[in-house]
């Protein structure tokens, strides 16, 4: 990359960091007040960009894009995060180590909390501790489920996949959507975002209770579900509901996991789905419910469940202290059977996923994880698998993604029911998807309607061209 561009990118990153620090000490506004302050300038920017650059070409559309899952097409607007193929994700310009440094953690904890990540994603600013505490309190106060939703969840068969239950539970919450009521009343389009925000905060607040009730119903009928504690953060409360209130390692891990999985640009299946569905002015509940059913696919969020299943079969086949050669043989046997190595590769990333690195760093500083056979097997595999995948020669990225390790940590801490893992991802991904929906309404983005074409039309066009 030319040195000038490198310098310019560095300056933008540093300025984002400085702005965030400044904001952190300056503001005591609520989330809604902060957004109300920011939105007019963003609307102006949107209008200016449309007017000045509306006809600027951002790239070509090749036939291979159309039949190749639209890879690389710059066709969606989302400000919250940007994914560089080599550097990985940045949230409003901040890398993962930077957000770990600047975002407020839980009382007595070290890891970032969901509230501060949501605040950063939706406002682009680093909240003060006071702002995140107030948001935590607001969420805890609104986190109880209505009786009709409890009844729906309790009526599901225990054998129904937890992600199906989560998607249906989230959709059912739209019974009380403020956005729907406001739309029916005919409120001004410029006001939509306030109701989308109210629904989004309500859904965020209720997700831990919803997800924990599913866990209880499917796996742990003995589990008590206490009232939410207004002095705890969202994930602290979720950990308590799951029965991990006294397990600091698991609580901290869940905080990190949920903050880091919150957003990964706008084009991944879950973020893109909620964006698309909400563009029809569907409310945040049903829009996020749709996203959850995309997250439930094995090539996306279900990969963490698949990784664990695969790592456990490898452990059975080669033992806990497997040599590199044994791991290599196991990797080849998976590939030769026509399956993918779960937890490796990525649609955009071309280097190891910084979220994977952050989770590995979490393991490095915790003595209890140094002795965990499953964590050590994951680490060894991450050293061996890239070489095997390179030799295999298909994947564009032979490196581990976040799912290579995320489920294994849950397993280590005792949450061994791996068909539940994607539900935890589903609690997390709401941070990005909901922030995105609020902004789509604040900016008045239109209904999405790309054009599809037939193979015959492609051939005709290509021959003429």
343 binds ligand HAX (CB under 6 A): yes
> Is 346 in the active site?
yes
Closest distance to ligand HAX from the beta carbon of 6 (Å): 27
Q: Does 426 bind ligand HAX (CB under 6 A)?
A: no
> Given candidates 6, 299, 457, 458, which one binds ligand HAX under the rule CB under 6 A?
299
Shortest CB 58 distance to ligand HAX, Å: 21
Nearer to ligand HAX, 288 or 344 (CB): 344
Active site annotation includes 272? no
Return the residue of 262, 347, 354, 407 that touches ligand HAX, per CB under 6 A: 347
Q: How far is the CB of 175 from ligand HAX (least distance, A)?
A: 29
Listed ranges 168-176, 297-305, 359-367, 439-447: which one lies at the site for ligand HAX (CB under 6 A) = 297-305
Q: Is 346 in the site for ligand HAX (CB under 6 A)?
A: yes
Q: Please pick, among 92, 261, 275, 300, the residue that the annotation labels catalytic.
A: 300
265 binds ligand HAX (CB under 6 A): no
Of 153 and 375, CB closest to ligand HAX: 375
154 included as an active-site residue: no
Task: Note whether 296 binds ligand HAX by CB under 6 A.
Answer: no
Minimum CB distance to ligand HAX, residue 433 (Å):
13
Q: Which stretch binds ligand HAX (CB under 6 A): 88-96, 107-115, 200-208, 299-307?
A: 299-307
Report the SS3 class of residue 197: helix
Under the binding rule (CB under 6 A), the answer on residue 345 touching ligand HAX is yes
Active-site residue among 261, 264, 346, 412? 346
Is 301 a binding residue for ligand HAX by CB under 6 A? The answer is yes
Give the total of residues touching ligand HAX (CB under 6 A).
20
Catalytic residues: 300, 346, 403
Chain residues in the site for ligand HAX (CB under 6 A)? 268, 299-301, 303, 335, 340-347, 394-397, 401, 403
């Amino acid at each position: 990359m030319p040195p000038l561009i490198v310098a310019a990118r560095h300056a933008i990153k540093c300025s984002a960091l400085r702005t965030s620090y400044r904001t952190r000490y300056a503001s005591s506004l609520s989330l809604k007040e902060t957004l109300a302050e920011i939105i007019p300038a963003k609307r102006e920017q949107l209008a200016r960009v449309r007017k000045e650059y509306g006809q600027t070409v951002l790239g070509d559309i090749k036939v291979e894009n159309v039949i190749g899952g639209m890879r690389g097409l710059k066709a969606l607007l989302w400000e919250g995060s940007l994914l560089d193929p080599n550097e990985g994700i940045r949230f409003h310009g901040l890398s993962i180590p930077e957000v770990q440094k600047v975002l407020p953690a839980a009382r007595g904890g070290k890891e970032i909390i969901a509230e501060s990540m949501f605040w950063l994603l939706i406002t682009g600013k680093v909240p003060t501790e006071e702002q995140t505490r107030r948001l935590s309190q607001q969420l805890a106060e609104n986190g109880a489920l209505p009786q009709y939703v409890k009844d729906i969840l309790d009526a599901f068969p225990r054998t129904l996949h937890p992600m199906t239950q989560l998607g249906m539970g989230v959709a059912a919450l739209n019974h009380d959507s403020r956005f729907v009521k406001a739309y029916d009343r005919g409120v001004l389009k410029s006001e939509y975002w306030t109701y989308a925000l109210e629904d989004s905060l309500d859904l965020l607040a209720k997700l831990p209770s919803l997800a924990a009730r599913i866990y209880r119903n499917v796996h742990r009928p003995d589990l008590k579900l206490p009232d939410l504690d207004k002095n705890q953060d969202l994930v602290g409360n979720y950990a308590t509901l799951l029965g991990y209130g006294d397990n600091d390692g698991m609580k901290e891990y869940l905080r990190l996991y949920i903050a880091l999985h919150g957003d990964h640009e706008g084009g991944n299946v879950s973020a893109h789905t909620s964006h698309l569905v909400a563009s029809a002015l569907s409310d945040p509940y049903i829009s996020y419910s749709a996203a959850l059913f995309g997250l439930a696919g094995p090539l996306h969020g279900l990969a963490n469940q698949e990784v664990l299943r695969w790592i456990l079969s490898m452990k059975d086949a080669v033992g806990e202290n497997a040599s590199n050669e044994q791991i290599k043989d196991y990797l080849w046997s998976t590939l030769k059977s026509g399956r993918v190595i779960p937890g490796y590769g990525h649609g955009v990333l071309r280097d190891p996923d910084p979220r994977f690195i952050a989770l590995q760093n979490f393991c490095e500083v915790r003595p209890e994880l140094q002795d965990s056979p499953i964590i050590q097997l994951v680490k060894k595999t991450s050293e061996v698998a890239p070489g095997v995948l390179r030799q295999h020669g298909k994947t564009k990225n032979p490196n581990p993604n976040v799912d290579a390790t995320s489920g294994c940590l849950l397993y280590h801490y005792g949450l061994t029911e791996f068909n539940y893992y994607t539900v935890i991802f589903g609690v997390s991904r709401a941070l990005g998807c909901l922030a995105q929906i609020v902004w789509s309404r604040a900016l008045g983005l239109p209904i999405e309607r790309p054009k599809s074409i037939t193979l015959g039309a492609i051939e005709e066009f290509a021959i003429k061209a």
